[in-house]
Amino acid sequence: MLKDYDFDDFENEYSDFKTKELGERLSRAQRLIGNLDIPVLIIVDGWESSGKGYVIKDLVKELNPKHFKVSVFETPTEEERTRPFLCRFWNKTPRYGDIAIYDRSFYFKLFNDLSVTDKELEKHIQDISSIEKQLLDDKAIIIKFFLHQKENTQQKRIDELKEDEYRSFMISERDEDQYDHYNDYLEHFDKILEKSDFTFSKWHIVSSEDKEAASDKVLGMSIDLIHEGIDRILGMKNGGLRRQMRDYVPKEKPLSQLNLNLKLDDDEYDKLKDELQMEAQELAFELYTKGIPTVLVFEGVDAAGKGGAIERLTREMDPRGYEVVTISAPSQLERAHHYLWRFYQNFPKEGDMKIFDRSWYGRVMVERVEGLADMEEWNRAYREINEMEKHLSNAGTLVLKFFIYIDKKEQLDRFKDRETEPDKVYKLTDEDWRNREKWDEHIEAMNEMLVRTDTDHAPWVIVEGQQKKYARIKVLKTFIEQARKKIDQLDS
């Protein structure tokens, strides 16, 4: 892409327009996407000293500042380095109807690492493709620009900045290194651009030899690409996307295969519980000291005992090392983003443990059954969730998911107990009764979820919950087994 780029063939089809006129046209496009609740992500990347700041300044000059945000991505902070790679980028994705502009992006680390191996490059490109595809499927418009310049132009701009006492601070080691190894970076950039020039989000190479022309080109292309994106999204909404049929054929029903008669007597439970809780505490501390982030997910049938299992698991753990994240209906801010956005806000940094009492699986369970997500949305969520959990695993996270199951009769008995016990009545809600009325639909959704999202990097552990004591011991034993396995992998 870059190696074959002909600077002499650069054509600015927007040269007849004044920059202000293009800016006003982009402002009108901004109002349109605002009315349609369409998020737009514009990435401005390229060589150091290629004019990214100049271009972005013109991009936003006529926009309503309440509905755009520019985020600069350079070397991550210490805090950001301790979290999964994509977290800081997900945090800055646009709200519905707004424009997010990335000065550099998730490609920054790759672009500036000449030593990255092909294996590492493929892993990062895979993670990046997932965020771009997920945003696109959520009716976002993604526009990617790479500002290209000649070697002597880069040298000239670096020299100009050095001589300017007010702007010399803008020169970094990256500027110097890219200039000193221009051909190596040219080859490196070209490889990355080729691999990340996805059919669903293409790169647009823009010559920045003339920064004014580059600015007008980026402005004009942004306007055209936003309108193309609007046409695509409206076509999706008005076309045949709301399919009534799916390709998926149920293969297994794991919940129907459970032995719910498994039990422990009181003496055995008390003996095992105390020993296992101390062992879980020791392993949690070891995970912390070795910097291993942990994500534990608890899902299950209403009244199955998720809360009790979490309490017994964490009983002896240092509360400074874990946090229980209780997931309920999304807030107004959370509804203004992709549904996975709010979960990225809560992923652990190195050594920390986040325990999710309900999770992103609501998309393929309650949202599916209650019609809060349409078929296209929840059907693609299986892939999106697997990709997200794979990214967590790639970042070294222990991901472990528990699904606690009880049968319909046991659930009714527990509901009735909650009605009569003052300390438990708060747990019983109208939503619990509504879900029970659709028991078969929920079980169908749960079975499909367990089959389609059970992976080597984020396995499901189905817990027989008919007897709470048995369920709590199984959770403890499984956590200990998987934590030890993760630690051994790190040490080997």
Q: Do 97 and 233 fall within a single domain?
A: yes
Looking at residue 239, what is its pLDDT?
59
Q: Do 13 and 153 fall within a single domain?
A: yes
- 57 domain-assigned: yes
Q: Do 303 and 199 fall within a single domain?
A: no
Q: Do 258 and 226 fall within a single domain?
A: no
Q: Do 396 and 477 fall within a single domain?
A: yes
Residue-wise pLDDT tens digits, 264-275: 999 999 999 999
Final residue belonging to a domain, choices 190, 206, 238: 238
Which tokens in the block code for residue 192? 């990355």
Number of domains forming the structure of the chain: 2
Residue ranges, the chain, pLDDT below 50: 240-241, 243
Residues in the chain: 492
- 326 domain-assigned: yes
Q: Do 261 and 157 fall within a single domain?
A: no
Q: Do 269 and 336 fall within a single domain?
A: yes
Q: Do 275 and 359 fall within a single domain?
A: yes
Final residue belonging to a domain, choices 187, 210, 238: 238
- 41 domain-assigned: yes
Say how many CA atoms lie within 13 Å of 221 toward its Cβ.
23
- 214 domain-assigned: yes
- 246 domain-assigned: no
Looking at residue 265, what is its pLDDT?
96
Q: Do 162 and 304 fall within a single domain?
A: no
Residue-wise pLDDT tens digits, 115-173: 999 999 999 999 999 999 999 999 999 999 999 999 999 999 988 888 887 777 878 88
Please answer whether residues 71 and 45 qualify as being in contact, where contact means their C-beta atoms are separated by less than 8 angstroms.
no
Q: Do 304 and 436 fall within a single domain?
A: yes
- The bridge status of strand 294-300 relative to strand 68-72 is unpaired
Percent composition of the chain: helix, strand, coil (DSSP 3-state, to 5): 55, 15, 35
Looking at residue 244, what is its pLDDT?
53
Q: Do 234 and 264 fall within a single domain?
A: no
Helix H segments across 15-117?
Answer: 19-36, 52-60, 78-81, 87-90, 108-111
Helices 408-420 and 430-437 cross at an angle (nearest 10°) of 160
Looking at residue 398, what is its pLDDT?
98
Residue-wise pLDDT tens digits, 33-60: 999 999 999 999 999 999 999 999 999 9
Please answer whether residues 51 and 153 qualify as being in contact, where contact means their C-beta atoms are separated by less than 8 angstroms.
no
| CATH number of domain containing 487 | 3.40.50.300
Q: Which residues pair with 146 in a beta bridge?
A: 45, 205
Question: What is the reported pTM?
Answer: 0.92
Q: Do 351 and 218 fall within a single domain?
A: no
DSSP 318: -
Final residue belonging to a domain, choices 207, 238, 269: 238
- 243 domain-assigned: no
- 300 domain-assigned: yes
Looking at residue 474, what is its pLDDT?
98
Domain region containing 215:
7-238
- Residues in CB range of 230: below 8 A, 6 or more apart: 32, 33, 36, 38, 141
Please answer whether residues 197 and 1 qualify as being in contact, where contact means their C-beta atoms are separated by less than 8 angstroms.
yes
Residue-wise pLDDT tens digits, 213-225: 999 999 999 999 9
Cα pseudo-dihedral 179, 185, 190, 192, rounded to 10: -130
